[in-house]
Amino acid sequence: MGRKKLLIVDDQIGIRILLLEVFATEGYETFQAANGRTALDIVRNHAPDLVLLDMKIPGMDGLEILKKIKEMNKDIKVIMMTAYGELDMIKEATDLGALMHFTKPFDIDEMRLAVNLQLGEGGSRSKFASGT
């Protein structure tokens, strides 16, 4: 099996570059998108294992992108990022299938840990098989 694929969707280039660098060093195949249309093209063509998705993106907001991602492939894991504390949007994102959310500015080590936990489920656990 190849490297895990990670898509970073944020309209702020600084955040995309930071996350790309962090997760490329973690060994993931990384993709980036500044808007919903590009993000959905990447989902369609590359089927990422996990998407880091900003809640507020011009044109198509994070909830709309999340809905479309889940329509294309319900198994893609999504972690939301938001600079805003809108509890109703966060709840709706969770109801739509987002695993968790990070409020900006987020702790990059916490983000790395969360992504590694989500994407490490298949491979790393089998090395530590427990007896029954």
Per-residue pLDDT at 104 exceeds 80: yes
The two beta strands, 50-54 and 77-82, are parallel
Q: Cα–Cα distance between 96 and 67 in angstroms, integer?
A: 7
Confidence of residue 1 (pLDDT cuts 50, 70, 90): low
Per-residue pLDDT at 128 exceeds 70: no
Mean confidence (pLDDT) of the chain = 89
Identify the residue whose tokens are 């972690």: 79
| Closest to 50 (Cα-Cα) out of 76, 23, 22, 24 | 76
50-99 pLDDT, tens digit per residue, is 999 999 998 999 999 999 999 999 999 999 998 876 778 899 999 999 99
Here the tokens at position 35 are: 């808007």
Beta carbons of 81 and 55 less than 8 angstroms apart:
yes
Q: Cα–Cα distance between 98 and 59 in angstroms, integer?
A: 20
Q: What is the pTM of this model?
A: 0.89
